[in-house]
Structure 1
Amino acid sequence: MSEVIFSVFPSENFIDLGLYQFGWEQCDPAHSFGPAARNHYLFHLCLSGTGRLIAANGKGEDLEYQIKSGQGFMLFPNQVCTYIADRDLPWEYVWLEFDGLRAKEAVELAGLTQDCPVYKARYKDIYENMKSEMLYIINHKDESPFHLIGHLYLFMDGFVRSSTAAQISKGNRLRDFYIKEAFAFIEQNFQNDISVEDIAAACGLNRSYFGKIFHETMGKTPQEFLITYRMTKATELLKLTDLSVADIGNVVGYPNQLHFSRAFKNVYGVSPRQWRNEHK
């Protein structure tokens, strides 16, 4: 009989890096999961035993990898995969499912891709710190969301720095400057009728080039980021205030309540009023 610890993270909104679910399992011999695809990044770290990962690469071709103790594997959003515990020496693993505007950048810095999803540690001490952060999150599921997100950042730091495939940061300070300028402009003006052209102009860039470097850095288009930012602010107001849905829509840049409700439902799958009833 396999043993499992499984927890779902509370419905809090963290834009840069968010946690969805996490857990630990001592698998039965030949226990398998999939084929299936996830909506977010899902990282497994093998603590003992061994198993196999079958995952689609960037061309949609299924490749097989042997994962042993001390190694891990990353599943990417919408990637179809299956993983199977060894029949004689089934693996024990821990996992974290995460996403956010900085998730793509962090995974790329660690050097992992759909064509190269296997994690191998380069530095044992940093690896041990990373493993400790994963176990801490799993064993402290009742701590506050902010507390757990703090440990998620510590995990991510260890994950990136310990990976044998870690990419050396190019230190593109000018690009970082433009992205920070864009963030600052959005934070100060999201409630106004702003466009991608306005954000690009605030950075002193043309729209095409700005959109390219923003998407390459953040994994989202500027428009997608702006919508996500506005909807996150809307959920905060829905949860923490008694403002009407129309007033909240106006506050986050949607003077037309119908347009606000439609945009909100596209992101969260429910209307603002229904979201409030479920989270108030």
Structure 2
Amino acid sequence: MSTVSFSIFPNDNFIDLCLYQYGKEQCDPGHSFGPATRNHYLFHYVLSGTGTLMADNSKGITQTYSVKSGQGFLIFPGQITTYFADQEHPWEYIWLEFDGLKVKEALQTTFFSLEHPVYRANSKELREILKNEMLYIVEHCTASKFHLIGHLYLFLDALTQSTHSNELTSSSKMSDYYIKEAIHYIEQNFQNDISIEEIAGVCGINRSYFGKIFRKSIGKSPQEFLMNYRMIKATELLSLTSLSISEISQAVGYDNPLHFSRAFKNVYGISPRTWRKENK
């Protein structure tokens, strides 16, 4: 029988790097999962045994990979995959599902792509650090969310360092610079009455081009990102302070509390007051 430990992260209000679910499984011979897609990045590390990954590349063509102990594989958001354990030596693996603004940027420094999903570490020492950080997260599911996010950063550091690609980091795009500038400006000014034109102006580009490169890089329009960022900050204030709804509305850039409540409900499906009662 398969033995599985599985946990869901209790809070997703982390923007730069967030954990969604994680676990460990000793699979039965031939045990399979998929075909399926994920909304976030999903990394498996094989502790023992072997298995097979079938994953679509950037052209939608399914490729087959053999993955063994000491290796792993990264599934990208929206990528169709199926994976199954070997009949003779079924694998035992640990996994983390994660995402965030820093993830795509971090992975651009590695060899990972839809064409290259298999993890082969360039350093045994870094591979051990990666494995130990994953095991730590899986085995400490009752630790505080900040504690686990700290170890998720250490995992991501080991993942990127052990798969570092000099070839991919030799050039930087201006569009990446613009996105970083825009996000930094939003982080510093979300509480003010800022517009998308203003953010584009700070980057020195027109709104149309800014909107296009922002959506391509982040997966959301600048307006959606700004609203979601404000709502995440609002949930922090709702859960950690006793400020009134009106005061929180002002603190996250909404002069009108009704507009704030409407935007909050669009994102979370409930009013700020109800959210506070359920999460205080």
Shorter-chain TM-score: what band? 0.7 to 0.9
Question: Which stretch has the larger CA shift, 107-116 or 86-95?
Answer: 107-116
CA contact (8 A) 1:47 1:93 kept: yes
Structure 1 letter corresponding to 2:95: W
1:4-50 CA distance string (max 9 Å, x none): 22121121521100111111111111111122222111100111111
Distance 2:40 2:175 in 1: 26
Q: CA deviation at 1:69?
A: 1.2
Alignment pair present for 1:137 and 2:137: yes
> So what's the TM-score if we normalise by structure 2?
0.87
Residue type at the aligned position of 1:90: P
- Which deviates more from structure 2 when the two are superposed, residues 259-268 or residues 90-99? 259-268
Checking the alignment, whether the CA contact within 8 Å between 2:12 and 2:20 is kept in structure 1 is no
- How far off its partner does 1:232 sit? 1.0
Q: 1:31 to 1:133 in 2, by over 3 A?
A: same
Matched ranges for 1:110-129 at <5 A: 110-129=110-129
Conserved? CA contact 1:17–1:99, under 8 Å: yes
Shift of 1:227: 2.1
User: 1:262-277 residue pairs with structure 2 within 5 A?
Assistant: 262-277=262-277
Aligned to 1:45: 45
* Residue 71 (structure 1) shift: 1.3
**Secondary structure at 1:109's aligned position in 2?**
coil
What count of residue pairs does the alignment treat as equivalent? 280
- Name the % identity: 61
Matched with 2:224 is: 224
Give the equivalent residue in structure 2 for 1:252. 252
Cα 1:220/1:166, change in 2 over 3 Å? farther
> Does the Cα contact within 8 Å between 1:18 and 1:99 map onto a contact in 2?
yes
Distance 1:116 1:266, change over 3 A: farther
Q: Which structure 2 residues correspond to residues 52-131 of structure 1 after superposition, within 5 A? A: 52-131=52-131
Partners of 1:205 and 1:93 in 2: CA distance? 46
Q: Comparing 217-226 with 165-174, which one deviates more in the overlay?
A: 165-174
Q: Which structure 1 segments of 5+ residues have no match?
A: none
1:192 Cα deviation after fit:
2.3
Alignment map for 1:104-253 (pairs within 5 Å): 104-163=104-163, 168-170=168-170, 172=172, 178-211=178-211, 214=214, 218=218, 220-253=220-253
- Inter-partner Cα distance in structure 2 for 1:173 and 1:105: 12
Offset of 1:92 from its aligned partner?
Answer: 0.7
Decide whether aligned partners of structure 1 residues 277 and 63 sit closer, same or farther in structure 2, where only a CA change above 3 A counts.
Answer: farther
Question: Secondary structure of the residue that 1:102 maps to in structure 2?
Answer: helix
Q: Secondary structure at the residue paired with 2:101?
A: coil
Q: Report how far residue 236 of structure 1 moved.
A: 0.6
Task: For 2:152 and 2:67, locate their aligned partners in 1 and report how far apart those are by CA, in whole Å.
Answer: 23
What SS does the aligned partner of 1:131 have? helix
Report which stretch shifted further, 112-121 or 35-44. 112-121
The farther-off stretch of 256-265 and 192-201 is 256-265
1:18 corresponds to: 18
What secondary structure is seen at the aligned counterpart in 1 of 2:60? coil
Q: Distance in 1 between matches of 2:205 and 2:278?
A: 42
TM-score under structure 1 normalisation?
0.87
Structure 1 position 247, deviation (Å): 4.0
1: CA distance between counterparts of 2:271 and 2:114? 34
**Uncovered stretches (5+) of structure 2, i.e. residues with no partner:** none
SS at match of 1:90: coil
